[in-house]
């Protein structure tokens, strides 16, 4: 079941859904520890992408983000 406004996911409190695509949905949330807004992306199980493939893509994405100047990169936690 997808999260809805008010749901807690660890330190994050979901405020609303802000988008969706073929692989998942994106939610606006509040990081209650750092007191700031964040975006959370949830992958759809029905997207047909298996967990090992998601990890492979994530590793490549994180490696590319590390090469960007700090002022251009979003913070990503995995």
Query: What is the tens place of the pLDDT at every residue in 46-59?
Result: 555 555 555 555 55
Cα separation, 36 vs 38, whole angstroms? 7
Q: What is the phi/psi pair of residue 65, to 5°?
A: -65, -35
pLDDT-based confidence at 16, cuts 50/70/90? very high
| 22 contact partners, CB below 8 Å, separation of at least 6 | 47
pLDDT-based confidence at 61, cuts 50/70/90? low
| Alpha-carbon separation of residue 31 from 22, 27, 38, 40, 75 (angstroms) | 26, 12, 7, 10, 13
Domain spanning 8-67, CATH architecture: 2-Layer Sandwich (3.30)
Average pLDDT, the chain: 73
Q: For residue 34, what pLDDT is reported?
A: 84
Q: Is the pLDDT of residue 76 over 70?
A: no
pTM of the model: 0.60
């Amino acid at each position: 079941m997808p999260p809805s406004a008010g749901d807690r996911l660890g330190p994050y409190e979901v405020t609303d859904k802000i988008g969706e695509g073929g692989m998942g949905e994106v939610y606006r949330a509040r990081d209650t520890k750092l007191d700031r807004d964040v975006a959370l992306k949830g992958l759809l199980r029905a997207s047909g992408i298996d967990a090992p493939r998601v990890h492979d893509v994530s590793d490549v994405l994180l490696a590319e983000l590390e090469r960007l100047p700090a002022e251009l990169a979003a913070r990503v936690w995995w």
